[in-house]
Amino acid sequence: GRGLVGVWVPCYMSVVCGSVGGDGVWSVSGCPATCLLFVGVWVETLGEWGLMEIAMLEKLHVFWHAGMLAHHPGHGVFDTILDPGFLEVLEPHPESANRVRNMVSILQKGPISPYIVWQRGRPAHLSELLLFHSPEYVQELVDADARGGKSMCEGTILNPGSWDAALIAAGSTLQAMQHILDGHAKLVYALVRPPGHHAQPTRADGYCFLNNAGLAVQLSINSGCKRVAVIDIDVHYGNGTAEGFYERDDVLTISLHMNHGSWGPSHPQTGLADEMGRGRGLGFNLNIPLPNGTGDRGYELAMCRLVIPMLSRFKPEIIVMVIGQDSSAVIPIPHLHGKFSWLHFLSL
């Protein structure tokens, strides 16, 4: 394969980072698949995963731009941005900038900092957004920003500064993909916010305005890649990415998530196993809903029996990993309890 793009999706998390490595090797049709990525905030586990040995062989190119910190969803009760009138301190929205500040700090000062190559991100051009999104939806976002903001759906608030941050997140992810396509690296990591995997071609959803991963996938297809796979390990279904490629057989979308079902008009997809694609895309969307409490052994079983066999048959040229860390045992949300040691099944 050509390489892997890691896209951080910071949904429902407190302090997070993105990337872990492992010590195994697997291949797609005899060709080593470059699948590592997402450097974890849990520094004490880096030795266990052997990430430093991997990083010494292939440096990690991280795409980042501080302009993404300008997105401030607000304060309230969890993600509602409502003040019930009897709280002394309102909670910051769970998709806040401080977690990304910690991520950058760990990558800059932590033990793997010598193995990171920093790349400055950039804003996306409006025309680039049409790789995944409809012109009408892009215009809706532009107009909302011009009017000073808008609540796009529950918990997904476009405030002053949010649109600029979203454009930088999208552009930085596209830049990361282009970095691989141009042959400059095999491993790249787009450290971006606002997140994107819930954003569908025509609507926002789940804190997401623009589907960063979807844009990068379509860029790779337009650049000549014949098969691209997406692996999403966020605790919530990557419904937006799946929706964008639901009738396509050149993009394989795989999502491991808790069994939460639909959560309203902005998220009609269920994430159940029977959502397998449509038309030419039938069989190219693999949903793996996991029961609450699933830990590493459950993830290992899903990887070995479902994900890796599917990838081996599909033979992707590029793998895009969407790295939501809210399925981790260290995140204070009692749904899934992975420690990500299972990611060695997708290691370089």
Q: How far is CA 307 from CA 20, 180, 203, 230, 303, in A?
A: 18, 23, 28, 11, 5
Q: How far is CA 178 from CA 36, 181, 222, 316, 337, in A?
A: 18, 5, 11, 17, 34
Cα 210 from Cα 127, distance rounded (Å): 13
Cα 219 from Cα 1, distance rounded (Å): 16
Our answer to whether residue 61 is catalytic in this structure is: no
Name the residue type at position 175. Answer: Q
Q: Which two tokens stand for residue 234?
A: 């966020």
- Residue 30 CB partners (closer than 8 Å, separation 6+): none
Peptide bond into 194 cis (omega under 30): yes
Residue 115 φ/ψ, nearest 5 degrees: -105, 15
Q: Which two tokens stand for residue 15?
A: 């302090």
Cα 88 from Cα 98, distance rounded (Å): 21
Which strand (E) or helix (H) includes residue 139? Answer: helix 135-146
Q: Which of 93, 55, 45 is nearest to 329 (CA)?
A: 45
Beta bridge partners of 229: 252, 319
Catalytic annotation, pick one of 65, 198, 257, 267: 198
Q: Residue 182 in 3-state DSSP? A: coil
Catalytic site positions: 198
